[in-house]
Amino acid sequence: MTIHEDWTALSTDESLSRCWGTDARNSSQFINKRRSHGRSNFCDSPGRSSRIPSHMPNAYLSPVVINELSLEVSNQYIELYDGGIGNFELNGLLIVLYNSRTMRAYTDPVSLTGYKTDPSGYLLVKHKDLASDSEVSFKEISIIDLNAIALFQEHSNTIVRGSIVTSENLVDVVVYGNMVVNRQRDLTDVLLPGSSPLSMDQILVAPNSYSRCRGWAPMQLSSFLLTDQSPGDGIVLVVYERGIVFPSFFTSLDNYATNEAGLLTIGHENGTNIDRVIDRMNDLDDATSISRCLCCEKRNSASFGTGPPSPGAINSQCRAADGSVITESLQYHQTLLRINEVYTTFAGNGLYIELYDEGYSGVRMDDLMLSLYSSEHK
């Protein structure tokens, strides 16, 4: 791990803390924060500051995406998500609502300055009739013709009601509704060239919402699917069947949480160690389950194989696609270890390096070595 530090920004009470993700050998996930050895890192309120080194990655400025969108007239809301950072300050972000008939903002933009995501990383922006005085809100979302909900990194006086549609400083956007015919230009041409808007055909039939289910990349309409509403949470389990484009089953995980080992089990009512019961059967035989053999890359089917069912426990005896059998081992646990916090001072009278095992606890450090390098002694 190499971090080029702006030493003018470092005080004696600060350390380099892991705040964005658990990827190994990724220094962009660290930032200066209050020392917190032996406790959860103080990653709240990153915000912008003159003390922040100028070389921070662009992802630091706007990790927020539109995560869920409800267009139901009686329960309209927009859910934002910061990727799990939590308590992230949203200063400088604007929500702008566009309509393709005028190609302009049809209401006053919603300024998010002064607000921040909750500890889990979410912010729920509600219709004014549903929001309290302390909550951020909007007047109404249009469901006629083609519309867009856009998230900008802008000053609040830059875009106003009636401003023409633009993609400059665009952070994320969702275009939805019915295509406007006989127009040479529409919202998708400006905001998402080459994309097709989300359809309104099914959204008003039941209390559903468009939820981000297929990745965290901004400005990707293909990431959204029609699911149960889950305001303020946003985690939905979606099941697909072979040859079917649309999901055959989905269920919201609102109000559920992982256990002390970091696991949550969702299964049929006849199963064991089940946290969430669903009316769904496993097509495999009773002695086999699809298990993750290799930890912990997301959206990688090659990481999975088959093995004995182990609900509520770490997988073992997992047979991978190449035929190898992977068993829980010391080496497996050690792959979860990450450098979590680093503290040092000029005077040399203070130094510690904190490691984290993803919360499993009790991981032995046998055969591991911590090495310190200096550019002065290559």
Exposed, middle or buried, 100 (CB in 10 Å: 0-12/13-18/19+)? buried
How many whole angstroms separate alpha carbon 107 and alpha carbon 96?
A: 8
Phi, psi of 122 (to 5 degrees): -110, 150
Q: Could you read off the pLDDT of 95-127 as tens digits, one per residue?
A: 999 998 899 999 999 999 999 998 888 888 888
Of 137-146, 166-175, 322-331, the range with the lowest mean pLDDT is: 322-331
Q: Model pTM?
A: 0.52
* Mean pLDDT (whole number) for 338-350: 74
Q: What is the pLDDT of residue 103?
A: 92
215 pLDDT tier (thresholds 50, 70, 90): confident
CA 28 to chain CA centroid, Å, is 16
* Mean pLDDT (whole number) for 153-170: 88
With beta carbons less than 8 A apart as the criterion, state whether 149 and 165 touch. no
Q: What share of the chain is helix, strand, coil (3-state, %, to 5)?
A: 5, 30, 65
Stronger pLDDT, 260 or 202, i.e. the higher one: 260
Q: Would you call 59 helix, strand, or coil by DSSP?
A: helix
Percent of the chain with pLDDT over 70: 66
194 pLDDT tier (thresholds 50, 70, 90): confident
Dihedral of the alpha carbons of 168, 47, 62, 51, in degrees to the nearest 10: 80
Phi, psi of 317 (to 5 degrees): 50, 45
Q: Would you call 8 helix, strand, or coil by DSSP?
A: helix
Which residues 6+ apart lie within 8 Å of 64 measured at CB?
A: 80, 81, 82, 83, 88, 90, 93, 117, 151, 171, 172
Phi, psi of 14 (to 5 degrees): -115, 155
Q: Would you call 333 helix, strand, or coil by DSSP?
A: helix
With beta carbons less than 8 A apart as the criterion, state whether 203 and 225 touch. no
Which segments of the chain does DSSP mark as H helices, in order? 187-191, 330-334
47 pLDDT tier (thresholds 50, 70, 90): very low
Q: Could you read off the pLDDT of 129-143 as tens digits, one per residue?
A: 766 666 777 877 888
Q: What is the pLDDT of residue 184?
A: 44
How many whole angstroms separate alpha carbon 225 and alpha carbon 100?
A: 22
Of 55-64, 108-117, 148-157, the range with the lowest mean pLDDT is: 55-64
Q: What is the pLDDT of residue 50?
A: 28
Task: Please report where in the chains the tokens 């300055």 appear, as a residue.
Answer: 113
Q: What is the pLDDT of residue 48?
A: 32
Rg (CA), the chain: 24
With beta carbons less than 8 A apart as the criterion, state whether 270 and 261 touch. no
Q: Which amino acid is present at 147?
A: N
Q: What is the pLDDT of residue 200?
A: 73
* Mean pLDDT (whole number) for 201-212: 68
Q: Report the 10 Å Cβ neighbour count for 212.
A: 24
Q: For residue 56, is pLDDT > 80?
A: no
Which residues 6+ apart lie within 8 Å of 334 measured at CB?
A: 363, 365, 368
Q: For residue 162, is pLDDT > 80?
A: yes
Exposure string (b/e) for 128-153, b if CB count within 10 Å is 16 or more?
Answer: eeeeeeeebbbeebbbebbbbbbbbb
Question: What does DSSP assign to residue 198?
Answer: B
Stronger pLDDT, 165 or 46, i.e. the higher one: 165
Phi, psi of 371 (to 5 degrees): -115, 140
Q: What is the pLDDT of residue 135?
A: 73
First to last CA, the chain: 15
How many whole angstroms separate alpha carbon 143 and alpha carbon 245?
A: 25
CA-closest candidate to residue 30, choices 42, 48, 38, 47: 42
Q: What is the pLDDT of residue 52?
A: 30
Q: Could you read off the pLDDT of 73-103 as tens digits, one per residue?
A: 777 888 999 888 888 889 989 999 999 889 9
Q: What is the pLDDT of residue 165?
A: 94
| Averaged pLDDT score across all residues of the chain | 74
Q: What is the pLDDT of residue 63?
A: 81
With beta carbons less than 8 A apart as the criterion, state whether 223 and 172 touch. no
